[in-house]
Amino acid sequence: MKDSVLILSGGMDSVTLLYDEHERIALAISFDYGSNHNGKEIPFAQLHCKRLGIPHVIIPLDFMGKYFKSSLLEGADAIPEGHYDDDNMKSTVVPFRNGIMLSIAVGVAESHSLAYVMMANHGGDHTIYPDCRPEFVEAFDAAAKAGTFVGVRLRSPYTNMTKADIARRGKELGIDYSETWSCYKGTEHHCGKCGTCVERREALAEAGIEDTTVYDD
């Protein structure tokens, strides 16, 4: 049954997928790419993997912080406030981030004779993140299959779900979302105003989950 590698950030979506598919996950990978919030997310990824007995590795991608342009890599003050539907949130896009991480995960999967790589993109990402959209998922799945001897496939079961749908699934699984991180600013507490904080608040409210997250606002 252990046939998959999961890309695990430590946020709500990937932690939900970790619990949802834990019987299939042979290895979880977190990527330290120099974002403002890596230091907040990754400890939660480690916590949940330890709890479930799933091996976890952290792979550094420090070159992204050096060569890529994104407010997500420029410090808390660079992160805009607002909803993902707002044009200013496009500054948080890290160019082809998922493509790079998935490529590494596919290589890891083939090295361990595993059939699948999983990621927890969802419908709310489609507005501004090109490498979360269904057409990207379909194209990358085909590339992974064609480019590996074992025919590694991409599984992204939340692609057409909303974040609230994911939160409802997490509620069914008994996940404590206070043990996840969303805020792009990466300060001591969630800011409550950036796109990920706004989306987090809305999803938890829509799913009927008490939000015990500490917000600065």
With respect to residue 212, please indicate whether it lies within any of the assigned structural domains: no
- Across 10-65, the runs of DSSP E, i.e. the strands, are 25-32, 56-60
Q: Which pLDDT does position 84 carry in this prediction?
A: 72
With respect to residue 143, please indicate whether it lies within any of the assigned structural domains: yes
Give the integer Cα–Cα distance in Å for 76 and 66: 17
Q: Which pLDDT does position 128 carry in this prediction?
A: 82
Structural domain harbouring 78: 4-206
Q: Which pLDDT does position 34 carry in this prediction?
A: 95
Q: Which pLDDT does position 88 carry in this prediction?
A: 77
Q: Take residue 9 and report the two structure tokens written for it.
A: 């950030």
Give the integer Cα–Cα distance in Å for 193 and 87: 15
Q: Which pLDDT does position 126 carry in this prediction?
A: 66
CATH number of 99's domain: 3.40.50.620
Q: Which pLDDT does position 217 carry in this prediction?
A: 83
State how many domains the chain has: 1
pLDDT > 90 fraction of the chain, expressed in percent and rounded? 90
With respect to residue 216, please indicate whether it lies within any of the assigned structural domains: no
With respect to residue 215, please indicate whether it lies within any of the assigned structural domains: no
Q: What pLDDT digit, counting tens, does each position of 89-123 carry?
A: 889 999 999 999 999 999 999 999 999 999 999 98
Q: Which pLDDT does position 86 carry in this prediction?
A: 66
With respect to residue 124, please indicate whether it lies within any of the assigned structural domains: yes
With respect to residue 38, please indicate whether it lies within any of the assigned structural domains: yes
Tell me the binding residues for ATP: 8-18
Q: Which residue type sits at 2?
A: K
Higher model confidence: residue 173 or residue 123?
A: 173
pLDDT category at 16 given cuts 50, 70, 90 is: very high
With respect to residue 116, please indicate whether it lies within any of the assigned structural domains: yes
Tell me the binding residues: 8-18, 183, 191, 194, 197
Those residues with Cβ within 8 angstroms of residue 53's Cβ, 6 or more apart along the chain or in another chain: none
Those residues with Cβ within 8 angstroms of residue 134's Cβ, 6 or more apart along the chain or in another chain: 126, 159, 160
With respect to residue 211, please indicate whether it lies within any of the assigned structural domains: no
Q: What pLDDT digit, counting tens, does each position of 20-32 carry?
A: 999 999 999 999 9
Tell me the binding residues for Zn(2+): 183, 191, 194, 197
Q: Which pLDDT does position 73 carry in this prediction?
A: 96
